[in-house]
């Protein structure tokens, strides 16, 4: 009898009846919840919501050093002044600048064998976020747009592609290319809620509702005769703006408990990581947080001591929180940059741009925890085992999210590959 009671009340049991839920689960967690209707229990709804795949990118802008983070080479001519410390996975060491992250290593994996052949900031950024070499006259959608499109659900009310930046205003980026404005990133400048999402005090709520109803009616009448890609984009923009106004509180990080603000830290990066957690919990498909600027060609070690130190605690807290809340298994987390830094230390006590042998960190959905892929030589000057490029990484991200990376989007009748067909996923990293 006890086993029967366990089966009846267990969330695993509630969401494990594949004959009943299979089709809805394949259509997406949001669609599944909508399809369950009034008899969906709160426990089931919460469990299904957690199973919705998401992606969180931490972009260390400017080119963080692999030697002061993921692939230290202590006591060598290239290693710099910092030690390597043990982690929660025996045999794996990180830079001593990452003591809190080291405690989360059992939830992380490292790729230490990246060679992207691109030492320019803009081109390196493009390669890491599109999986393709930048080509004049060709625009490719960035990772966030591809993920948002691939995992889109018709009932999702919040934007699927959000970028949190250290400064600047809000608005949209032109980073979705042929996927259209619906999947372009919504920018939260300095982590603030989207601009112009509050109803003016001078406009009564009922007047606003009437105006929107009239607009929608006119849009529908116009679309019957002159429906185009442009009018469709305008309609999507208006509808999404209306939904943003209705759910503006989702972006308000001040609603998080004071204890959480203290754990993440009072600086911008800590606040932005806390906001990222909030958005992931709200069901946003793709969130990107930027921490900058790592482009230090001089006085490098003093800067990295402070900058990597600022990164360490909020990131480790974020990974732990996602795990404790049951979200990490379904959220792919990637810490990336546009390239690494030279093993050679220049005459200004700095490291320069270096794309030939560097590293990133990953965690969560579809990724083997505690793994290390690839290897550099003793001085970190070249890859000696399992070299990978940005194209491999792009395929790997999609595959980890359960998306067939070799499939295509069909845009205006034309098939366009999700990822560069010349590459494939890093299969040994995937579960």
- Would you place residue 47 in the very low, low, confident or very high pLDDT band (cuts 50, 70, 90)? low
Residues 220-243: tens digit of each pLDDT: 777 777 767 666 666 666 666 666
Residues 348-378: tens digit of each pLDDT: 999 999 999 999 999 999 999 999 999 999 9
Number of H helices, E strands in the chain: 14, 17
Beta strand 331-336 with 54-60 is parallel
Query: Between these two residues, 38 and 156, which has the higher pLDDT value?
Result: 156
Q: What number of residues does the chain have? A: 431
Question: Is the separation of the CB atoms in 145 and 177 below 8 Å?
Answer: yes
The pLDDT of residue 17 is 38
d(CA 337, CA 321): 23
In degrees rounded to 5, what are phi and psi of residue 140?
A: -110, 145
Q: In CATH, what number does 44-193+252-429 get?
A: 3.40.720.10
Cβ density class 210-239: b for 16+ within 10 Å, e for less:
eeeeeeeeebeeeeeeeeeeeeeeebeeeb
Domain boundaries, the chain: 44-193+252-429
d(CA 323, CA 11): 17
d(CA 1, CA 111): 48
Indicate the range of 9-18, 108-117, 311-320, 368-377 predicted with least confidence.
Answer: 9-18
The pLDDT of residue 206 is 76
Structure letter (DSSP) for residue 411: E
The pLDDT of residue 246 is 58
Residues 292-351: tens digit of each pLDDT: 999 989 988 999 999 999 999 999 999 999 999 999 999 999 999 999 999 999 999 999
Residues 173-211: tens digit of each pLDDT: 889 999 998 899 999 999 988 765 565 667 666 766 677
Query: Between these two residues, 405 and 173, which has the higher pLDDT value?
Result: 405
The pLDDT of residue 242 is 62
């Amino acid at each position: 009898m006890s086993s029967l009671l366990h089966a009846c009340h267990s969330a695993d049991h509630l969401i494990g009846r594949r004959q009943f839920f299979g089709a809805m689960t394949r259509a997406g967690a949001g669609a599944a919840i909508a399809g369950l209707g009034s008899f969906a229990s709160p426990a089931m709804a919460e469990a299904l919501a957690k199973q919705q795949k998401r992606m969180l990118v931490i972009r260390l802008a400017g080119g963080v050093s692999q030697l002061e983070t993921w692939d230290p080479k202590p006591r060598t001519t290239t290693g710099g002044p910092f030690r390597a410390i043990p982690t929660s996975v025996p045999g794996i060491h990180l830079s001593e600048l990452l003591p809190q992250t080291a405690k989360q290593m059992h939830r992380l994996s490292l790729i230490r064998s990246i060679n992207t052949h691109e030492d320019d900031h803009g081109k390196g950024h493009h390669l890491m976020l599109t999986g393709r070499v930048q080509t004049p006259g060709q625009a490719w959608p960035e990772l966030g747009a591809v993920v948002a499109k691939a995992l889109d659900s018709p009932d999702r009310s919040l934007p699927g592609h959000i970028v949190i930046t250290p400064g600047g205003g809000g608005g949209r980026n032109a980073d979705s290319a042929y996927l259209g404005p619906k999947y372009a990133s919504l920018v939260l400048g300095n982590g603030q809620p989207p601009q112009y999402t509050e109803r003016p005090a001078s406009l009564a709520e009922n007047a606003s509702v009437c105006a929107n109803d009239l607009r929608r009616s006119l849009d529908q009448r116009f679309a019957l005769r002159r429906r185009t890609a442009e009018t469709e984009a305008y309609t999507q923009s208006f509808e999404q703006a209306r939904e943003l106004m209705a759910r503006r509180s989702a972006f308000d990080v001040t609603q998080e408990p004071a204890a959480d603000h203290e754990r993440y830290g009072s600086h911008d990066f800590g606040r932005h990581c806390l906001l990222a957690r909030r958005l992931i919990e709200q069901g946003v498909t793709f969130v990107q947080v930027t921490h900058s600027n790592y482009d230090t060609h001089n006085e490098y070690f003093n800067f990295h001591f402070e900058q990597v130190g600022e990164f360490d605690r909020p990131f480790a807290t974020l990974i732990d929180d996602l795990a404790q809340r049951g979200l990490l298994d379904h959220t792919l987390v990637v810490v990336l940059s546009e390239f690494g830094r030279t093993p050679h230390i220049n005459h200004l006590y700095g490291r320069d741009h270096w794309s030939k042998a560097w590293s990133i960190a990953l965690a969560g959905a579809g990724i083997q925890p505690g793994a290390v892929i690839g290897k550099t030589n003793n001085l970190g000057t070249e890859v000696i085992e399992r070299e990978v490029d940005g194209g491999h990484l792009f395929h790997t991200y999609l595959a980890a999210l359960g998306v067939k990376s070799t499939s295509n989007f069909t845009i205006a009748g034309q098939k366009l590959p999700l990822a560069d067909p010349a590459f494939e996923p890093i299969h040994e990293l995937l579960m």
